[in-house]
Amino acid sequence: MTLVHDPFNIIIAGVGGQGNILSSGLISRAFCEEGYMVSVGETYGATQRGGSVISHIRLSRKKSYGPLIPLGQCHVIVGFEPLEVYRILRDYGHDTVRVITNDRPFYPLDVLQKRSKYPGVDPLISSIEVLARDLEIVKGTDLAKKAGNPKAQNVVMVGAFCGLNWVPLPKERFLKAIEETFSGTRLEINKWAFELGYESVMGH
């Protein structure tokens, strides 16, 4: 399958500790198996704890691109937190950017310490709606709780990303990547989390 844009650029936007790296691993692994050239760039380390974290995923049929997406060139944002989505969208969003996000806020320390104010989920979502060509909200944390662990929201979001079919790829590719990543109870929880995310966007 050819890509609408080549390279096709995906950003996962969240907060340190939300499982960015794991989900970028699942997505990139799934596309790699399908024969795409995939490059991933991410940041991690202790200084990311509680900080903004983004993973860049670049898909191509032609060649391996560098690990960072240029500004204004991101085609899909998979978001774990609305403030982080809006932050990334403003700088990296392409003319035709589409967004899928968990709308549960994760308050920065600065907000809890009342040094600054969280803009509020509703104003954030309505601004995202203006900028994005499509916006899909997923109750990622609630669905993850249902699957057995609220931390599995990252895999719920991967499931929803797969279900939306914005970049067509068979579901089995993702399930295989999940099976190769987890084992035991965690495998069961994450498979269920993926399914719940997938189903939540069916018919959308």
> Which tokens in the block code for residue 6?
């080549």
Tally Cβ neighbours within 10 Å of residue 10.
Answer: 25
Q: Is the dihedral of CA 187, 193, 197, 199 positive or negative?
A: positive
| Binding of another protein by 39 (CB under 8 A) | yes
Say if CB 131 and CB 93 are below 8 A apart: yes
Say if CB 158 and CB 196 are below 8 A apart: no
Size of the residue set binding another protein (CB under 8 A): 66
Three-state secondary structure call for residue 64? coil
With tokens 């997505």, the residue in question is 27
Three-state secondary structure call for residue 106? coil
> Which tokens in the block code for residue 95?
């003319």
Among 2, 117, 168, 202, interactor with another protein by CB under 8 A? 117
For residue 4, give the H/E element and its range. Answer: none
The stretch near another protein (CB under 8 A) out of 140-148, 158-166, 167-175, 194-202 is: 140-148
Task: Give the nearest distance from C-beta 151 to another protein in angstroms.
Answer: 7
The stretch near another protein (CB under 8 A) out of 114-122, 157-165, 166-174, 195-203 is: 114-122
Site for another protein in 61-80 (CB under 8 A): 64-72
With tokens 């795409």, the residue in question is 36
Among 1, 44, 179, 204, interactor with another protein by CB under 8 A? 44
For another protein, the closer of residues 163 and 193 by Cβ is: 193
| Binding of another protein by 16 (CB under 8 A) | yes
| Binding of another protein by 97 (CB under 8 A) | yes
| Binding of another protein by 200 (CB under 8 A) | no
The stretch near another protein (CB under 8 A) out of 28-36, 155-163, 168-176, 195-203 is: 28-36
Round to whole Å and give the CA distance between 40 and 134. 24
Q: Where do contacts with another protein occur on this chain (CB under 8 A)?
A: 15-17, 25, 28-29, 32, 37-52, 64-72, 83, 86-87, 89-91, 93-95, 97, 107-119, 123-124, 127, 130-131, 141, 145, 148-151
